[in-house]
Amino acid sequence: DTGVSQNPRHKITKRGQNVTFRCDPISEHNRLYWYRQTLGQGPEFLTYFQNEAQLEKSRLLSDRFSAERPKGSFSTLEIQRTEQGDSAMYLCASSLGSRLSGNGYTFGSGTRLTVV
Amino acid sequence: DAKTTQPNSMESNEEEPVHLPCNHSTISGTDYIHWYRQLPSQGPEYVIHGLTSNVNNRMASLAIAEDRKSSTLILHRATLRDAAVYYCILRNKAAGNKLTFGGGTRVLVKP
- Could you tell me the end-to-end alpha-carbon distance of chain A, in angstroms, rounded to an integer? 35
A73 vs A70: CA distance, rounded Å: 7
The DSSP output letter for A105 is: P
C-beta atoms of A91 and B44 within 8 A = yes
C-beta atoms of A91 and B43 within 8 A = yes
- Say what percent of chain A tops pLDDT 90: 78
Whether cis (ω within 30° of 0) applies to the bond prior to B21 is: no
- The strand pairing partners of A88, in sequence order, are A113
Q: Which residues of A13-44 are buried (b: 16+ CB within 10 A; e: fewer)?
A: beeeeebebebbbbeebbbbbbbbbeeeebbb
> pLDDT confidence of A28, banded at 50, 70, 90?
confident
pLDDT at A104 over 90: no
The DSSP output letter for A104 is: P
> Does residue A25 contact residue A4 with C-beta atoms inside 8 Å?
yes
A20–chain B nearest CA distance, Å: 19
The residue of chain A with its CA nearest to that of B105 is A42
The residue of chain B with its CA nearest to that of A34 is B98
Average pLDDT, chain A: 92
Residues of A in contact with B32 (CB under 8 A): 101-102
* Measured CA angle at B66 (ends B57, A42), to 5 deg: 60
Residue B78: partners with Cβ closer than 8 Å, 6 or more residues away:
B12, B13, B14, B15, B16, B17, B18, B107, B109
> pLDDT confidence of A17, banded at 50, 70, 90?
very high
Residue B17, Cβ neighbours under 10 Å: how many? 12
Encode pLDDT of B8-64 as tens digits: 999 999 999 999 999 999 998 888 999 999 999 899 999 999 999 999 999 999 999
pLDDT at B70 over 90: yes
> pLDDT confidence of A101, banded at 50, 70, 90?
very low
Residues of B in contact with A97 (CB under 8 A): 97
A17 vs B80: CA distance, rounded Å: 41
What confidence score (pLDDT) does residue A33 get?
95
The residue of chain A with its CA nearest to that of B102 is A42
